[in-house]
Amino acid sequence: MRPRSIRSQFTLTIAFTAALAIGAASAVMIARSAWQARAQLIEDLDTLAAVIGNNSSAALSFNDATDAAEVLSSLRDKSIVRMAALYTEDGSVLNIYRRADVADALSERPQPGPAHRADGDVLHLHRPVMIDGKPIGAVYLNADLHPLRAATIRQIAWASLTAIAAILLAIYMAARLQRGMLGQIEQLVRMAHGIAEGNLPPRIAGFSEMQEIAALQHSFNLMVDTSRRIVRQAQSLARGDYAIDITVRSDQDELSHALIKMTESLKAYHEESENRNWIKTRLSELNDRMRGDPELHALLEQVLSSVALAVEASRAAVYLVAPDRSLTPAAGFALPPEASGRSYAWGQGLIGQAAAESRPIWIQTDDTREFTIDAGLCHARPAEIAAIPLLREQQVVAVLALARATPFRPMHREYLQLAAPAIAIAIYSAQARARLNELLEETRRQSRALQEQQAALHRTNLELEERTVLLEKQKQEIHRQNVELEAARLDLERKARELEQASRYKSEFIANVSHELRTPLNSLLILSQLLAENKERTLTPKQVEFARTIHRSGSSLLAIINDILDLSKVEAGHLNISDEPCNLAALLSELEATMRPMIDPEQVDLTCVQEPGTPERIQTDPHRLAQILRNLLSNAIKFTPSGRIELRVRAVPADPHSDAPPMLAFAVRDTGIGIPADQQHAIFEAFRQADGSTSRKFGGTGLGLTISRELARRMGGDIDLESEPGKGSTFTLHIPLRLPSQEEAPVPPISSAVEHVRAEPASRHSGSRSILLIGADDALAAQIGQTADAQGYALVRASTGEDGIRRARLDAFDGILMEVTLSDMTGQELLHRLKLSNATRHIPVQVIGLSEADPEFMREGAVGFLKQPISTDAIEAALRRFAQIADRPVKELLLIEDDIDTARAISNLINDPRVRVHMTPSGHRAIELLDEQPFDCIVADLGLADMSGADLLHCIALHQNGQYTPIIVHTGQTLTREQEARLREFAGSIIIKGEHAPARLLEKIRLFLHLPPLDGARRPEAEPTTHPLDREALRGRRILLVEDDMRSAYSLSAALESAGARVNVFADATRALEALNAGELPDVLLIDVQLPGMNGFELLTQIRAKSTFDRVPIWMLSAHAGPDERARCLDAGARDLLQKPIEVNRLIELIGNGAAAAA
């Protein structure tokens, strides 16, 4: 900001203040008066409006425009009112008044209350007209604001003029005031400016009449005087005159004090700089003397003389610090003879003390007294003695002693203090140099010694190398041994593998040998039996007895072979223990049923007891359990010619001490011959019996117990024996309630409903009905379980197909519900296998599936199909179907066949008391019969006289009444593929009449009628039959036997011939085939599967390929027949596959029936 003169500032301020004050006052006044005028106008107009409203109330009430005009015309005197209007209550204009010069249109709407607003120069005012507090209309006034505004403008003009005049006056007054004062101030300013520039002006002579300015001028004069004095002082100082010529005028005279101090300081500084120069010179002299690495002693001499001369000491000495910290004199300066050579210990004397203190000690002596100090110098009286330690890096190197006749001056002390470290370093360096020289010499000596040692080391190294070579040789030796060891190990492994293989070979060998043994044994058994029967009556009774003995021995031998096979399986660990629930009551009952035929009820009493407290079911392998118990029981029977045999089952609680789980104990007690104590262990060992003579007397191998114990142990239990010779034995089998789990495999989880069903007593023994459910998830199982429970059925569940088949064989179920999809096999496969087995064929099966019923299931013998999701009604219907089948012991079979002989043959073929055969040659009659009663199965010939086959099937389908009755088409026609496809829609099975047709027909009929096997229980297959052979059964039959084993062939042919057949034996397939081609036409073919060259299957296939022989029934024979082989044989056209050893009676029966049916 540019500085402005006081004058202009002054003037501006006054002018501005005056203008502001007057302007503000005027503005407020004008605004107030304008506002008041306006308020007055509005009030006046409002009053006017009220008067007009009051005057026009009647006019408004009666809508009288004339009167209204009259009232409004009174406004003519009010020139300010431009327009006025009266509104009626509904807002329409009653009348309008306009000033003469106004022609505006009325644009205002009436307002509900009093209101006014300015619009430019115009004021609009509304006021309602009230009568009795109620509005009846409104007045509107439109007033001119022009006059109001004109007055305001006039006021503003006046105020402005006044303000300008006031400002001009103020400026004039200010100018006058400034003129006198400012002239003198400007003079002072000029003076000050001169002082600032160093030009001291003359004193002011005439003072101003103004008080403040006069004082200012006086002070200026004083200031000039002082300045002149200071200049003088400075000039004298510059000349080197340090005298002070300054008068202090007051305590506050800082300038004078400062000048005095400055003068003194300059003086002191001058002296000090002279001292310093002296010290510097001396120090540089000292350094010069010490330069050039002199020897220690020379150095000390030089230093001492230099220092002593510098400080004008009368005497001086240096004491060096020895390694033991004693101080010994090393050099002296002007020393008298008596003051020589004494050493001081650390801290001793002044010298020792100075070293210990590590700082100089100064001692001034008193002149007036006789006082000497043993300073090592003399006993004179020096004025001051100094002992100065020489320090290098805080270490005392030496002590310098000085004596002076007069006290040391400060600059001496300073010099000594500055010189001390330099001297110390010089002394130390000299000492170090001396030591270094010594060390160098030492090093040289050591170097020589080292060279000698190196030579010795080299020799040692050579020796070490020799030893390493030796070690390497030994290492190689060890490696070689390792290789040999590895080879030996590999050899061992190979041998172990060979051993393992040998063991496997052994097992295979045993299996093969067993088969090889069985085949000759087979013929032995058959022939001996034939002999024993003595049909030709050519043998003496003794010979007959011989034959019987042969037969008995053969049977024993067969049992032994079976046992050995079992044992070899157990020992090889190939035995699988299954884990499944086992119904104890059922097991015992079956066991009893099996064993009872073996005893003579008059001699032996057999009882089975299940003690209370035993669980209904246990979790174990039921087959193995049954096997063990059978073994124990048959043992007991064997050794108990008369007496009692008891099987008692009881629960053994868990033993907390031995950690044993809860067990079941099966005690088999007999009153037989007993076992001596010393033999009791031996009987469990393989091939041992209590007495060597026992086997001769009772037969058997003794392997049974060994196998049983092995099995028991595998099931987590064991067999104990208590016995007393002559009184009897008790074998007790302990097995845990659940198998000691390999992986604690639990029973598949089931819902409570199913659990409840399971808890029911076993179906067969409580007389209620039971259903087997194969597959199905828990929810479905629960649903079926509930319904079945309500209908009085027990539901047994099998999760897999295999499990289902096993259970179906074990228990007699009234029906099987199976799911189409199973975890381990397809539904078709399961159904097929159920229907293939004699044990399960008769159980009606219904299939549960997601899709529509698959006719394939019906052809396979299913009786119904449940589509998921399954309603309770559907389950009930399924159960009713099972009940229907079970409740009709006699099955109704409708046979539609117009050839009476064929019909009779079929009827004979069935020949079952449980089947009632209805025969009719007429299709129409068949339909009538269907309407009269339900049938379980229909066998239909297609070539009827009165109806075509297709029509018949169609009609049958129409007359089924919603039931599915299986139809077997039994026809002599050869069908085309299309025909067959059409028939398949209706028929469960199609059988073309031929040689092997009767057997298949019978099989299918049994399948569809759900007939259990006639003889009920399964018969042990190896049991030798003692029925006499029927001589006439096969009279005249030609039998062709293909069998390579001549012993088998001979025994079989002998048996068959004794039944009246003519048997032609061929040893291999090729010859047999040749004979057949050559015109041989047998009634029956028997073919061994295992033939040399062309095997039995191939032969069978080739024979079936010839039309000549498609009517000839063929049976296949095999020593080891699996279900696969059997199926294969059946597929290839065989009647059946017979397991060796062949039961002759059964074979004869089969051949007899089959040939008859074929005829």
Partner 1 sequence: MAAFLYNFLSFVEWPPSAFLDEGPLLIGVLGANPFGDATRSIEKREVNRRPIRFLFFDRVDALRPTHILFVTPEFADRLKEVRRTLRGQPVLLVGESENFTRSGGMIRFYDIPADRSPSGERQVRIEINEGAARAGGLDIRSKLLRLSDVVNHPVPESDGGADTP
Q: Catalog residues that contact partner 1 under the rule CB under 8 A.
A: 55, 57-59, 61-67, 131-132
- How far apart CA 701 and CA 679 sit, in angstroms, is 16
Q: Which helix (H) or strand (E) holds 845?
A: strand 845-849
Q: For partner 1, give the closer residue by CB, 65 or 216.
A: 65
| CA distances in angstroms from 320 to 342, 375, 967, listed in the order given | 12, 15, 143
Q: 34-42 contacts: CB < 8 A, separation 24 or more?
A: 34/148, 34/151, 34/152, 34/155, 37/148, 37/151, 37/152, 38/145, 38/148, 41/80, 41/123, 41/143, 41/145, 41/148, 42/116, 42/123, 42/125
Q: CB of residue 68 vs partner 1: minimum separation in angstroms?
A: 9
- Residue with token string 């304008």: 34
Per the CB < 8 A criterion, the answer to whether 299 and 426 are in contact is yes
Please classify residue 491 by burial: count the beta carbons closer than 10 Å to its beta carbon, then call 0-12 exposed, 13-18 middle and 19+ buried: exposed
Q: CB of residue 76 vs partner 1: minimum separation in angstroms?
A: 19
- How far apart CA 228 and CA 199 sit, in angstroms, is 11
Q: For partner 1, give the closer residue by CB, 55 or 1102.
A: 55
Q: CB of residue 162 vs partner 1: minimum separation in angstroms?
A: 54
Q: CB of residue 71 vs partner 1: minimum separation in angstroms?
A: 9
Q: For partner 1, give the closer residue by CB, 59 or 1116.
A: 59
Q: CB of residue 130 vs partner 1: minimum separation in angstroms?
A: 11
3-state secondary structure string across 756-783: HHHHCCCHHHHCCEEEEEECCCHHHHHH
Q: In what order do the strands lie in the sheet containing 769-774? A: 793-798, 769-774, 815-819, 845-849, 862-867
Per the CB < 8 A criterion, the answer to whether 1082 and 1115 are in contact is no
Per the CB < 8 A criterion, the answer to whether 407 and 275 are in contact is no
Return the structure tokens found at 770: 């039971």
Q: CB of residue 106 vs partner 1: minimum separation in angstroms?
A: 17
With residues binned 3-state (H G I as helix, E B as strand, rest as coil), the percentages for the chain, rounded to 5, are: 50, 20, 30
How do 845-849 and 815-819 pair as beta strands? parallel
Q: For partner 1, give the closer residue by CB, 49 or 628.
A: 49
- How far apart CA 285 and CA 279 sit, in angstroms, is 10
| CA distances in angstroms from 591 to 450, 463, 563, 729, listed in the order given | 105, 91, 20, 20
Q: CB of residue 25 vs partner 1: minimum separation in angstroms?
A: 52
Nearest to 521 by CA among 550, 497, 543, 500: 550
Q: CB of residue 88 vs partner 1: minimum separation in angstroms?
A: 11
Q: For partner 1, give the closer residue by CB, 53 or 332.
A: 53
How do 643-652 and 663-670 pair as beta strands? antiparallel
- How far apart CA 1067 and CA 1073 sit, in angstroms, is 11
DSSP designation for 125: E
- How far apart CA 1080 and CA 1066 sit, in angstroms, is 12
Q: In what order do the strands lie in the sheet containing 937-940? A: 915-920, 891-896, 937-940, 967-971, 989-992
Q: For partner 1, give the closer residue by CB, 19 or 65.
A: 65
- How far apart CA 873 and CA 1053 sit, in angstroms, is 59
Q: For partner 1, give the closer residue by CB, 131 or 373.
A: 131
Q: CB of residue 133 vs partner 1: minimum separation in angstroms?
A: 9
DSSP designation for 738: B
Q: CB of residue 74 vs partner 1: minimum separation in angstroms?
A: 13
Q: For partner 1, give the closer residue by CB, 130 or 1075.
A: 130
Q: For partner 1, give the closer residue by CB, 90 or 978.
A: 90
Q: For partner 1, give the closer residue by CB, 67 or 897.
A: 67
Q: CB of residue 128 vs partner 1: minimum separation in angstroms?
A: 16
How do 81-88 and 134-144 pair as beta strands? antiparallel
Q: CB of residue 70 vs partner 1: minimum separation in angstroms?
A: 8
- How far apart CA 1099 and CA 1043 sit, in angstroms, is 12
- How far apart CA 538 and CA 1125 sit, in angstroms, is 42
Q: For partner 1, give the closer residue by CB, 129 or 1117.
A: 129
Q: For partner 1, give the closer residue by CB, 63 or 503.
A: 63
Q: Which helix (H) or strand (E) holds 1103?
A: helix 1096-1105
Q: CB of residue 69 vs partner 1: minimum separation in angstroms?
A: 9
Q: CB of residue 108 vs partner 1: minimum separation in angstroms?
A: 22
Q: CB of residue 137 vs partner 1: minimum separation in angstroms?
A: 12
Q: Which helix (H) or strand (E) holds 643?
A: strand 643-652
Q: For the chain, how many helices (H) and strands (E)? A: 31, 32
- For every residue of 509-569, DSSP letters joined together read HHHHHHHHHHHHHHHHHHHHHHHHHTTT--S-HHHHHHHHHHHHHHHHHHHHHHHHHHHHH
Q: CB of residue 73 vs partner 1: minimum separation in angstroms?
A: 14
- How far apart CA 342 and CA 339 sit, in angstroms, is 8
Q: How many CB atoms lie within 10 A of CB 452?
A: 8
Q: For partner 1, give the closer residue by CB, 66 or 451.
A: 66
Q: Round the CA-based radius of gyration of the chain to a whole number and report it.
A: 74
Q: For partner 1, give the closer residue by CB, 58 or 224.
A: 58
Q: CB of residue 66 vs partner 1: minimum separation in angstroms?
A: 7
Q: Which amino acid is at 238?
A: A
Q: CB of residue 65 vs partner 1: minimum separation in angstroms?
A: 5
Q: For partner 1, give the closer residue by CB, 62 or 453.
A: 62
